[in-house]
Structure 1
Amino acid sequence: MEWRKKLSPGAKETTDIVISIVFVTTLIAFIINQPVLFMVTGLLVSYILVSTLYDKKIGDQLHLHNKKTEIRLFPKEVGEIELNLHHNSHLPIINGQLTFTLNYNVKPINKKFIVKEDEEETKCQVPFSIYKKGLTTIKIPIKAIKRGTTKVQHIEIQFPHIVNFHHITLHFHKPYLTEIIVYPEQTIVHGLNDRRQRAIGEETSPYSLYEDTLYPIGTRGYVPTDSFSRIHWKATARKQSLQTKVYERSQNTSTAVIVNISETSHLGNRYVSPHLEELLSITRYVSQTLLQNGTPTTLFINAKKLGFPPYRSFQFVNGKQDIQVMLECLARIKPAELVTNPVTMAYDIIWKKTGPIHYVFIGTWETEFPHIQQQVKQNDGQMTLVHHEDGETILKGIRT
C-alpha cells in the first residue's frame, strides 16, 4: 500500500461506546420484549458495520502517480506542481485537506495555501475531495524564490469520517519523485569576452595560428617563404615540382573555472561564505558565456565530496548543450556544504599536465595568489580573477 492510514484516537472510543450501547439495548429488548429497541439495536449495528468497513477500505484503492519529473525554474519564475490521484473505489473522500512541505526556495503563489513557513521550509494545505471513481488532478501554482532544489515531502490527506466524523489521515510513505530545480541568478562580469587565449592543443580549427607537426594532412606547392625542412620529398619526386607539407591546424581554448565558496575565520576554521549566492551567480555567468562561445570548460568548486578528487568537478565539452547541466550542478550546491582547502584544490588542478591554459578564479584568493601564480607561470598558463571595482564585477588579468 502507498498510504499509511491513521485513525483519530476518538474513533475507537466512539465505536466502543456504541458497542456497549448495543449490548445494553439488546439485553433490555429481550427482557421487556420491546420491538422498538430491536430497531434501535439494528441501526446501531449497521452504524458499526458501515463505520468499520469505511475505516478498513478507505484509501486502499487510492493511487498517487509517482513518475520521476523535474520542474526547472529561474528565480521569480512561475511553475506548477501537479498531483494526479486515481481513485478506484466508490467510497468518497469529502471535505478533506491535502498537506505537504516544500523547501525554502519555492512557495505557492496563493498565500491561502500556506499554513506555516520558516527559513527552511513551507507547509502547504489545499482543499481535497473525491466524490467518485476516477482520476483527480490537483494543480498548485508556485513561484521560485531562490536557488536550490526541493521535493514535495510529507504528503498527507486528512478528511472527516463519513459516519462518525472523526478524522482519518492518509500518509504517503514513499518518496515523491517530482523535483523542483531553481537555477541561480546571474551577475554580469565585464571583460570576459575580451580575454581569449589560444595555444596549440587538440582542438581542430582552420583559423588557428598553430600547426600540429604530428598530423600532416596533405601538400601544396612550394613558395619561397616556406622552410626547407617542410619540403615533402616523395611528393616532390612524384609531381616533379617542390611540394610543401601541410599540417593540421589546432588550438587549445580550454578554460578552468575555479571557485572558492569558503572563507576562513581568525582561528583558521573554514566555512561556507555568506556570499555563496553571489559567487554562484558570477560562476553561472562566466560558465554560461564560455559555453555559449563553444569553449571547453571545466568547473571546479571546493565543496567536499567522497572519493577522489575530494572536491566537485564538472567537465563541459559540448558547448551550449551543456548549459542546462551546468545550471543544475550549481543549483545543487547546498548552503551547508562541507568545504575543502581551495589552495590545495588549485594546486591539484594546475599541476595536471593536461590542464587548461586559462584559469578563471572566483572567490577569495588574494592571500594565496603569489604561490598559485608561480605554478601557472611554469605551465605557460593565463590567470584572471573576478573582483569588484567601482560597483561592477569585472575580470582582471593577472600577470604570471
Structure 2
Amino acid sequence: MKFKIDFKNSRTMTFFIGSVVILFILNIFYGITLNIMIAVSLGFFISFALLSYLYEKNVAQKLRLEILNKEIRIYKNQEDSIRIKITQEGIMPILGGKISLSAGDDIRFVNDISTGIRQHTVTAITFTVMPKSSIIIEVPFTGYSRGVSKIVKAEINIPQIFGFNTLDLKQTGRPDHEIIVYPDRYAVHNEGMENQMIQGSFMQQNALFSDPLRPTGTRNYLPEDSMRAIHWKASAKTGELQTRLYEKTTKITWMILINLRSENSYAPPKNIEETFEKITFITGRATEAGIPYKIITNMVMMDNRTFFKLDEGEGKLHFKHTLETLARINTVTYTLSFERLLRYVQLHEELSTHVIFTGIADTSISADLSILKTKGANVFQLNEYGITPFKADSSEGGRT
C-alpha cells in the first residue's frame, strides 16, 4: 500500500515557536537580558522544535505497510481477518499510531465505527512499532453480503513525540487486494432442497441426479459406494452387500439460466440474492455428483456484446470458478430480456440434458422453454419453493 504525507500544524506548537522567535529577536537586536529560566526555556523550545522537525521529516520515509492475505475468499456470514504487516525500517519509533480503514459494505468489520457512511464499513486500530522492526495486526470482519470488497480508504495518524503536531498518511493508488464473499451455500432456505434433489425424488426421466442407465449386474459393495446403489435383493441372496453396476447410455449435463430481471421491470428480482444462494447449493451438489454444468445470465458484457456466462466444466476447480462468478455478478447492470437469452440458447448453445432456469415463466418465456423440452432437454424451475420440473401447461401460465 502506498501513502502520501499530509502534515498538519498544531496551533499550540505554532504559538510556542512564534514566542521563541520573538524572544530570540529581542535578545539579538535590542539587547534584552534574559534571566536563566527564560534562557533555559528558549534552548528547550529550540531543541524541541528541531527534534520535532527531524521526526516529521524522517518517521514516515521508511514506513512500509503490506496486506499479507491479498486474496480472501469466504462464504456469506463467515468470519475472517485482514492481516496487515507494518514495518518501520527507519530509526524513528511510532508510539500510539492509529490506522483507519474503510471498505465496501459487502463485509462488516467486527469493530465497526461507521456513523451513517453509506456503503462502507469503517474501523480503527492503534499500534506501536519500534525502529528496525515490524508488527502484524489483524482486522477481523464478517462476510455481510455476496460481492467483492476492497479497502477503499486507509489513513495512518502518527502523533508527534517531540511536539503537538500530527502527521497523517493517506492511501494513494488502487487497492492490490480483494475480498470475495460467496453466496451462502448452507443458508436455511437451502435445507429443503436436499430431499428434492436426491435420486428418485422425481420421475426417472426427470431426476436431476439420474440418467437412463442399463443394469449390467452386481459386485461386492465397497466403502466408497453410495448406499442408494446397493442391490438389496442380491445382497439378501448372497449374504453380503452387493452394489448395482450400470452402463451409461448418455451423459448428464446442466445448463443454468439466470434471469436478472423482474417480471415487470428492468430491476433485479427481490429474491435474487436467495436465488444465488440456491444456485450455489445445487452447483455444489452437482460437483459432488460429478455432473458438468454451465451458467448463462441475461447480463450483457459491454466489451463484446455477448451474454455473461461460465463455460461448461466440472470438479472442485470449476465450482470455485462458479463461486467467484456468482460473487462478481452485478445485479444492477445492463440486461436483455430473458426471452432473448432463451433464443440465443436455442441458436448458439449446445443443449444440455437438463436446463434449470430462475425467475417467473410468463407466456412467452414458457413458449421458449417448451421448445427446449421438444428438443429433448429436461427443464426445471428454481423458485422460492426449491427446484421443480417445469410444466408449460400449468394452470398458472407456466409459473411453477
> For residues 189-200 of structure 1, what are the structure 2 equivalents within 5 Å?
189=193, 191-193=196-198, 194=201
> For residues 125-204 of structure 1, what are the structure 2 equivalents within 5 Å?
125-186=124-185, 187-188=189-190, 189=193, 191-193=196-198, 194=201
1:98 matched to which residue of 2? 99
Say which SS state the counterpart of residue 282 (structure 2) adopts: helix
Distance, in Å, in 2 between the alignment partners of 1:305 and 1:63 is 39
Distance, in Å, in 1 between the alignment partners of 2:269 and 2:145 is 17
For residues 296-333 of structure 1, give each alpha carbon's deviation from its aligned partner in whole angstroms, at most 9, with x where no partner exists.
21101222322345321002413233111111111112
For residues 323-359 of structure 1, give each alpha carbon's deviation from its aligned partner in whole angstroms, at most 9, with x where no partner exists.
1111111111234333222210111012226332321
1:397 matched to which residue of 2? 390
1:251 matched to which residue of 2? 250
Ranges in structure 2 where 5+ consecutive residues have no aligned partner: 216-246, 394-400
Distance, in Å, in 2 between the alignment partners of 1:139 and 1:397 is 49
Preserved CA contact (<8 Å) 1:22 1:44: no
**4+ long deviations beyond 6 Å:** none
Say which SS state the counterpart of residue 44 (structure 1) adopts: helix
For residues 85-119 of structure 1, give each alpha carbon's deviation from its aligned partner in whole angstroms, at most 9, with x where no partner exists.
1110121222222101122222233x3x5243555
1:334 matched to which residue of 2? 330
Q: Shift of residue 375 of structure 1?
A: 2.8
Say which SS state the counterpart of residue 45 (structure 1) adopts: helix
1:122 matched to which residue of 2? 121
For residues 273-316 of structure 1, give each alpha carbon's deviation from its aligned partner in whole angstroms, at most 9, with x where no partner exists.
22121111122122222232212211012223223453210024
Task: Look up the equivalent residue of 1:57 and give its one-letter code.
Answer: N
Given candidates 340, 365, 369, the residue that maps to 1:369 is 365
Task: Look up the equivalent residue of 1:255 and give its one-letter code.
Answer: W
Preserved CA contact (<8 Å) 2:88 2:130: no
Task: Look up the equivalent residue of 1:138 and give its one-letter code.
Answer: I
Distance, in Å, in 2 between the alignment partners of 1:32 and 1:20 is 15
Report the TM-score, using the length of structure 2 for normalisation: 0.76
For residues 225-253 of structure 1, give each alpha carbon's deviation from its aligned partner in whole angstroms, at most 9, with x where no partner exists.
xxxxxxxxxxxxxxxxxxxxxxx986342
Task: Look up the equivalent residue of 1:282 and give its one-letter code.
Answer: K
Report the TM-score, using the length of structure 1 for normalisation: 0.76
1:224 matched to which residue of 2? none
Distance, in Å, in 1 between the alignment partners of 2:288 and 2:81 is 29
Give the length in aligned residue pairs.
347
Q: Shift of residue 33 of structure 1?
A: 5.2
Change (3 A) 1:353 1:316: closer
2:220 matched to which residue of 1? none
Distance, in Å, in 2 between the alignment partners of 1:387 and 1:33 is 91
2:287 matched to which residue of 1? 291
Q: Shift of residue 84 of structure 1?
A: 0.5
Change (3 A) 1:394 1:34: closer
Task: Look up the equivalent residue of 1:273 and give its one-letter code.
Answer: P
> For residues 221-300 of structure 1, what are the structure 2 equivalents within 5 Å?
251-265=250-264, 269-300=265-296
Say which SS state the counterpart of residue 300 (structure 1) adopts: strand
Distance, in Å, in 2 between the alignment partners of 1:353 and 1:339 is 19
Distance, in Å, in 2 between the alignment partners of 1:376 and 1:151 is 41
Asked which structure has the greater CA Rg, the reply is 1
For residues 194-241 of structure 1, give each alpha carbon's deviation from its aligned partner in whole angstroms, at most 9, with x where no partner exists.
56769xxxxxx9x679xxxxxxxxxxxxxxxxxxxxxxxxxxxxxxxx
Task: Look up the equivalent residue of 2:295 and give its one-letter code.
Answer: L
Task: Look up the equivalent residue of 1:7 and give its one-letter code.
Answer: F
Say which SS state the counterpart of residue 49 (structure 2) adopts: helix
For residues 56-97 of structure 1, give each alpha carbon's deviation from its aligned partner in whole angstroms, at most 9, with x where no partner exists.
112110111245622121222221111001110121222222
2:108 matched to which residue of 1? 107
Change (3 A) 1:4 1:23: same
Ranges in structure 1 where 5+ consecutive residues have no aligned partner: 199-204, 210-247
Say which SS state the counterpart of residue 272 (structure 1) adopts: coil
2:227 matched to which residue of 1? none
Question: 1 or 2, which has the higher strand percentage?
Answer: 1
